[in-house]
Structure 1
């Protein structure tokens, strides 16, 4: 019989001695697996699409729009474009897709994000797959060992994600030019870019790391009214972090797809004014 100091083990994960010795993996009768299955399907679809687009190395620019996957484009093999940062800092030795240079920064930010950790822990690793469903692995070490201990670099990826968001904001401003680079244009692509950057910023600043940077380590909020107000705003966004994570992920893919369709000549960018 298990004691308080000896964990009760069955064929389905680890249970503490203070828990009921239930041998079944769970007692739930609802379709609890739909949530993690849908999460896994959504993330897998984005991974497949973004991998294809990142390695395609083509059709990522349609004046004045540049795909968010390829900005900033800092290799010599970049398609010449005036709509975004295009400095050949990496020279001609970089022969792979230029999207692979900086794509790792927003990708690392999302992979180490608290919400995405929950999403892929449940959806792919089943650790655990849902509430009230036992941990299926025989040993649980959390994020104390390699490779999951690398999740602690999330704050540093946050700083990088802010830089990328600033660059994409610049790209969005340039989207208000027409194909001849005259200001005052607004096409359907411009609207997509505006929505996309708004969602990216909302997701980025709703991050738990941003919330801690803004209002963390303060003993008296009354002595820091500005930081307290900012902390309150970020906290309200943080409550919608999951929704913003998915919305921004979808908007990035749709924006890239729109640029791809324009670049391949599938249709012309409808002009709104």
Structure 2
């Protein structure tokens, strides 16, 4: 791989001794910038949307649907929500949107995710933007310094994300009940929430930390057949981790948007039975 000399000044980076002296910054002729540009666009749009919805503190419950951004509600301001989705641990003193109390866990899980780190490092920081495209800086410390060393807490965020996935699964079960609490209801919102939770579970279980938890530290798979089968299943999901990361990101945003539109009266939820 040959790189140029238009990088940072000095004898580091692309100007390091032994590097080929080529005037061009790189020799790629394809549209290498398209992938990082797409990443920046999509993630920026999600950040704007999720920030608006997190601080909106309104239109997050439409019987029997609960927005995944607000479940479970940990403040007392969610009295209109069913008790199954309302756990006011913070009482009345929390004056901000209750979504801010719960979103830190799934967002922390995604922020420290191995794939997302690669995506936004390349997209926002050009570290590097693409293969064979040098970084616009002369030194590299990786994730050995603050604040990036905190990325190592990803393995702990996995457990919180799994708990949130369990709670959202319960919300899907509740979505099969009508406004009177009787089972047998199914609307378009039920299917939207069901698709969302399936994508969230697939993304969570495909996580590298989950794969290590299931099959790590084993010297002989033959002595642990159950864990070996689970490891094989998680490994197959892990091979699609990138696709599941994006699909679940769109899924959770669309699920919240659907609940918002129904709760705000934009349209009525179509019911199948």
TM-score tier (shorter): over 0.9
- Matching residue of 2:101: 101
- Matching residue of 2:34: 34
- Matching residue of 2:191: 191
> CA deviation digits over 1:113-156, x for unaligned, max 9?
01100110011000000111112211111000011111000000
- Matching residue of 1:46: 46
SS in structure 1 opposite 2:193? helix
Whole-angstrom CA distance in 1 between matches of 2:228 and 2:17: 43
Whole-angstrom CA distance in 2 between matches of 1:65 and 1:133: 47
Alpha-carbon RMSD: 1.5
- Matching residue of 2:166: 166
Whole-angstrom CA distance in 1 between matches of 2:20 and 2:216: 39
- Matching residue of 1:148: 148
For structure 2, which runs of at least 5 residues remain unmatched after alignment? none
Matched, 1:12 2:3: no
Contact 2:188 2:272 in 1 (8 A): yes
- Matching residue of 2:75: 75
Whole-angstrom CA distance in 2 between matches of 1:10 and 1:144: 27
TM-score, normalising length: structure 2: 0.94
Contact 2:4 2:25 in 1 (8 A): no
Whole-angstrom CA distance in 1 between matches of 2:236 and 2:18: 37
After TM superposition, the structure 1 stretch with the greater mean CA deviation from structure 2, 20-29 or 48-57, is: 20-29
Contact 1:66 1:171 in 2 (8 A): yes
Matched residues, number: 266
How much has 1:23 moved relative to structure 2? 4.5
- Closer, same or farther: CA 239–168 of 1 in aligned 2, 3 Å: same
How much has 1:17 moved relative to structure 2? 4.5
- Closer, same or farther: CA 231–18 of 1 in aligned 2, 3 Å: farther
Whole-angstrom CA distance in 2 between matches of 1:23 and 1:57: 54
TM-score, normalising length: structure 1: 0.94
